[in-house]
């Protein structure tokens, strides 16, 4: 993981839903995405934007991300202006096709007085984004750019490609793995897409563990009931922690070694670095 903050559970909350907005301060999600895009009907866009601005006037102590509508839509420009004024932790851009989409928004933010601390997150959910994924993620290596996170948009990706969303997600896997690879190359956080079937929490827990095994930092969520299973699945298990501690202890006992064995397994110093990172990222 590249960010200092955990991103195990990142919940979408429709900005038009006042009742859902009111729940945010009490939700144990690592971050919240306030959505102006797909969760808001076209004739509700302006009202949702206004309610978002009111929400930020009494900002809760949470990591908050605003998903705006694409700049090519009738709402994009007004959304970006409102989001900039709200000063969220990040602005999430939907339907990103290429690095240009991100750089243009970065420039537009710079035109105002928005400090660089407002980061940009990018939805990866179009076939063009998949073709340009290396170049998009490469922006994460540019310290002057704001890009911090890639977010899988599996519903749009399925819609635009014809990939069938089966319960085991087997046909989506190649695209999801590409996102993880690109994010790591670009030093970015990367989040798995949502599970639409929010009532089946057993299936959800399996999907979270799979995403964790694939290398994702966390999962985007649509319902509060998904928060606890995601927090558990993306936290290291007791066994992971014990193994990591054993590696750290073994090298501490003999710091001159380059390679050792623990219980019949070869352990190199690269595993020490991995173990130290795991222990440092633990949330008690």
Ligand X SMILES: CC(C)(COP(=O)(O)OP(=O)(O)OC[C@H]1O[C@@H](n2cnc3c(N)ncnc32)[C@H](O)[C@@H]1OP(=O)(O)O)[C@@H](O)C(=O)NCCC(=O)NCCSC(=O)C[C@H](O)C(=O)O
Which residues sit at the interface with ligand X, rule CB under 6 A? 11-14, 19-20, 23, 35, 38-39, 123, 125, 153-156, 193-194, 222-224
Among 153, 186, 193, 218, binds Mg ion (CB under 5 A): 153
Nearer to ligand X, 86 or 124 (CB): 124
How far apart CA 211 and CA 194 sit, in angstroms, is 11
Nearer to ligand X, 101 or 247 (CB): 101
Two tokens, residue 71: 């700049």
Which residues, 6+ apart, have CB-to-CB distance to 249 below 8 Å? none
Return left, alpha or beta for 247; rule: phi > 0 is left, psi -120 to 50 is alpha, else beta. Answer: alpha
Which partner from the list ligand X, Mg ion, none does 106 bind, CB cut-off 5 to 8 Å by kind?
A: none
Closest separation in Å from C-beta 95 to Mg ion: 7
Among 30, 125, 192, 217, binds Mg ion (CB under 5 A): 125
Taking CB under 5 A as the rule, does residue 35 contact Mg ion?
Answer: no
**Nearest alpha carbon to residue 35 among 58, 53, 57, 52:** 52
Taking CB under 5 A as the rule, does residue 97 contact Mg ion?
Answer: no
Which partner from the list ligand X, Mg ion, none does 218 bind, CB cut-off 5 to 8 Å by kind?
A: none
Taking CB under 5 A as the rule, does residue 193 contact Mg ion?
Answer: no
Closest separation in Å from C-beta 50 to ligand X: 18
H-helix segments, 87-164 = 99-111, 127-131, 133-138, 154-161
Angle value at C-alpha 19, between 17 and 23, nearest 5 degrees? 115
Q: Which residues pair with 260 in a beta bridge?
A: 267
């Amino acid at each position: 993981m590249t960010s200092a903050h955990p991103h195990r559970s990142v919940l979408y909350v429709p900005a038009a839903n006042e009742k859902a907005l009111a729940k945010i301060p009490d939700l144990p999600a690592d971050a919240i995405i306030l959505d102006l895009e797909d969760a808001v009907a076209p004739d509700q866009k302006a009202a949702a934007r206004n309610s978002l601005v009111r929400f930020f006037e009494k900002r809760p102590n949470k990591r908050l991300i605003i998903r705006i509508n694409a700049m090519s839509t009738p709402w994009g420009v007004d959304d970006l202006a409102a989001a900039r004024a709200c000063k969220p932790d990040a602005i999430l851009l939907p339907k990103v096709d290429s690095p240009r989409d991100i750089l243009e928004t970065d420039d537009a933010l710079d035109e105002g007085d928005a400090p660089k601390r407002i980061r940009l997150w990018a939805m990866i959910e179009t076939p063009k984004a998949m073709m340009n994924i290396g170049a998009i993620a490469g922006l994460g290596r540019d310290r002057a750019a704001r890009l911090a996170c890639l977010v899988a948009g599996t519903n749009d990706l399925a819609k635009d490609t014809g990939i069938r969303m089966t319960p085991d997600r087997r046909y989506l896997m190649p695209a999801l793995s590409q996102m993880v690879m690109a994010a790591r190359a670009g030093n970015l956080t990367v989040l798995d897409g949502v599970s639409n079937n929010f009532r089946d929490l057993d299936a959800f827990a399996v999907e979270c563990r799979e995403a964790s095994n694939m290398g994702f930092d966390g999962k985007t969520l649509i319902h509060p009931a998904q928060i606890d299973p995601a927090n558990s699945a993306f936290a290291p298990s007791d066994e992971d922690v014990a193994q990591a501690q054993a590696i750290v202890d073994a090298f501490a006992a003999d710091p001159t070694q380059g390679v050792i064995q623990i219980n019949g397994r070869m352990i190199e110093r690269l595993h020490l670095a991995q173990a130290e990172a795991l222990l440092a990222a633990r949330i008690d």
